[in-house]
Amino acid sequence: MKRILLLLLTTVLLLASCGEATPAPNESSAENSLESSVAESSTEESAGGDTIPPAFVNAQNGKLPSVSHDAGSAMDLLEGVEAMDNVTATEDLQIAITNEGGYDPDIPGTYTVTVAVTDEAGNKAEATVEVTVRPVYEKITLTLGGEIPYRLNDTSALVYTSSGTSFRTADVIQVMDKDFFLEEYNAHKAEHTNNGTVPFFPNGVIVITDENGLIVQVRIACGETIQINADNSVKTSGLSWTNSIDATSGGGMFKGLAAELDSIIPNGGQLLFVGNPGAFLCRTFLIQSLFSSDYVSGALALNQQNIYPIGGTLVLE
C-alpha cells in the first residue's frame, strides 16, 4: 500500500514539473509580437530620420556673396563656400557646381553660378553666386612735352583777367602739384566774383594723378560732361561740377574740386588741366589719349570711349 501511494505522489510531481517548463501559448505570442513591433519601429526611424537639407553659410535668400576676378586669371569658385547640416559632419558634405551659367574666366561679364550641397542622407540645397569677370585694360602712358607743351606750377594760371581765368587763353597743359594748386586756388578765388569765387573753367579736361603718377580721375567737358573715377566707372550726371557759370554758387569744372582733393589724392599728387583755346591742340590730345582715340573735334559722346585711363602713368619730358 505504501508503495502504491509513493508511485502516485511521484507521478503527480512529475506532471507538475512538466507544466511549469512549458510556456503558455498566449505568453509566447505576446513576446514575439513585441519584438516585431520594436524592429519595425527602428526600421521606420532609420529610413525617415534625416529629412532636413543642409544649409550654406552666409547665404541670404538663396544667394551667396558675389565674387570677382580679372579676366584671364584663374579662380576656384568654391573657395570659401561653406555649409552645415544637422546630422552630417561638415567635412562629409558634398559641395559642387551644378550650373556654371556660361561662366568663362577669360571673357569679361557677370555670370550666375549655381552651387549645390548634399548630405549623407541625400538631402540637397542649392544657392547661386554672382561672379564678375573684370576686363583688363592696357595701361596707357600719358607723355607731355615736345609737341604737347605744358607748364609746371605756373603762378599766373589761376589769376582773374578780363578774358576769364588766365590759363584759358593759352593752348598749354597746366601741371600743378596738389599743394601748389590749393595754394593758388585759395590765393586767387576772391578775384572771381563773376563765378561765386570759383576760378571759371567751362570746357576742357582735368586729369588727377596720385603720388606715384598714376591717373585716378579724369574730368571732360566737351559737349557732354564726363567723369571717370578710380574704379573705371563713368558718370555723366549727378556730378559735383558743371560746365556753366554761376555767379552765386560757382560753376565750371573746378567747382567743389578743392574740397574733394583730399579724398581723391590724400597722399599728394598732381593735377593737369587745359581749356579749349586756339586750335584745341592740347584738349584734343588729352581726349584722344584718355578717352577716345577716334576723337577729332566737336562734342564728345559717351559711346565713343575706347580708352580706359585709370591706372595709366604720367610722364613729363
Q: Which residue has the cell 579749349?
A: 276
- For every residue of the chain, DSSP letters joined together read -HHHHHHHHHHHHHHHHHHHHSPPHHHHHHHHHHHHHHHHHHHHHHHHS--PPPEETT-BTTEEEEEEEETT----TTTT--EE-SSS-GGG-EEEEEE-TT--TTS-EEEEEEEEEE-TT--EEEEEEEEEEE--PPPPEEEEBTTB-EEES-TTTT-EETTEEGGGGSS-EEEEEHHHHHHHHHHHGGG-GGGTTS----SEEEEEEETTSBEEEEEEEEBEEEEE-TTS-EESSS-S--SS--TTT--STTTTHHHHHHHHSTT-EEEEEE---TT-HHHHHHHHHHT-TT--SS-B-GGG-----TT-EEEE-
Summarised one tens digit per residue, pLDDT across range 264-307 is: 999 999 999 999 887 789 999 999 999 999 999 889 999 999 99
pLDDT at position 105 over 60: yes
pLDDT at position 36 over 90: no
Say what the pLDDT of residue 279 is: 75
- Name which residue leads in pLDDT, 82 or 13: 82
pLDDT at position 88 over 70: yes
Mean pLDDT of 113-127: 96
pLDDT at position 171 over 90: yes
Say what the pLDDT of residue 134 is: 85
Strands 63-70 and 124-134: parallel
Q: Give the pLDDT band of residue 4 (cuts 50, 70, 90).
A: very low
pLDDT at position 104 over 50: yes
**What is the reported pTM?**
0.65
Mean pLDDT of 38-59: 66
Kindly state which CATH superfamily the domain 55-134 is placed in.
Immunoglobulins (2.60.40.10)
The set of residues, in sequence order, having a beta carbon less than 8 Å from that of 199 and lying 6+ positions away, is 158, 160, 165, 185, 188, 189, 192, 252, 254
Say what the pLDDT of residue 48 is: 57
Task: Give whole-number Cα distances, 226 to 119, 170, 221, 263, 273, in Å.
Answer: 53, 23, 6, 19, 14
Q: What values do phi and psi take at 14, rounded to 5? A: -65, -45
pLDDT at position 18 over 60: no
Say what the pLDDT of residue 280 is: 87
| CATH 2.60.40.10 domain locations along the chain | 55-134
Average pLDDT in the chain: 86
List the single range of 19-28, 53-62, 190-199 with lowest mean pLDDT: 19-28
Mean pLDDT of 171-187: 97
